[in-house]
Structure 1
Amino acid sequence: MKGYLVLDLAINELSGFMEYVQKIPEFIKKHGGRYIVQGVEPELMEGSWLPQRLVVLEFPTKIAAKEFLNDPEAQQLFSLRKATTTSNLILAEGCE
């Protein structure tokens, strides 16, 4: 079953974050992933959760999503994202 990474983020330092934006697609693709939602401002429909920006990535499997997150070559970029944003990230397995 597919794996989905959902990232809720607020950008605190745009110029530093742009390096992440430019370089991370290579690693997403390397692990078979693709953007489903790419940095949009979501519209609140119910409840109180309202991220400033939302990203949803789809991977062929939950394992592939974890491999993306653990890719040693991408760790510097993940550190950059964490330093330039306030974010929450979850992993969910899709339905068949």
Structure 2
Amino acid sequence: MAKAYWIARVDVHNMDGYRAYVAANGAVFNKYGAKFLVRGAPFENPEGSSRSRNVVLEFKDYATALACYNSPEYQHLITVRAPHSECDLVIVEGYDGPQP
């Protein structure tokens, strides 16, 4: 079964307010077995648009990734995060087929 990923691009406008989201999201992500693969690391943007912060989380499968996002706990966290940031989020199923 293919893993799934949240790919988030975030601009934080108020870091003090955003810290409450960061402090609380670990418990929700832990509940759904999420693993941070990228969390605000330095990056280059050679094509297209970008935001100031990139985050990639890995989940055991697509259903779990969607369940985490749709959970009451994470929906509450969106209300904590939203006043302090703008976020583009994609939830995508990983590729589990042949490689070149």
Normalised by the length of structure 1, the TM-score is 0.91
| Other-structure match for 2:43 | 42
- Within the alignment, does 1:9 sit opposite 2:10 as a pair? yes
Contact 1:5 1:56 in 2 (8 A): yes
Runs of 4+ in 1 over 4 A off after TM superposition: none
- Within the alignment, does 1:64 sit opposite 2:64 as a pair? yes
| Other-structure match for 1:21 | 22
How many equivalent pairs are there?
95
Structure 2: where are the runs of 5+ without partners?
Answer: none
CA displacement 1:44-72 (0-9 Å, x = unmatched): 2x312222100000000111011110111
| Other-structure match for 1:77 | 77
CA displacement 1:22-51 (0-9 Å, x = unmatched): 11011111001110001224212x312222
Q: What SS does the corresponding residue of 2:40 show, helix, strand or coil?
A: strand
Q: What SS does the corresponding residue of 1:40 show, helix, strand or coil?
A: coil
CA distance in 1, matches of 2:44, 2:76: 31
Normalised by the length of structure 2, the TM-score is 0.87
Q: What SS does the corresponding residue of 2:68 show, helix, strand or coil?
A: helix
| Other-structure match for 2:34 | 33
CA distance in 2, matches of 1:63, 1:16: 30
CA RMSD of aligned residues (A): 1.2
> Following TM superposition, by how much is the alpha carbon of 1:87 offset from its aligned partner in structure 2, in angstroms?
1.1
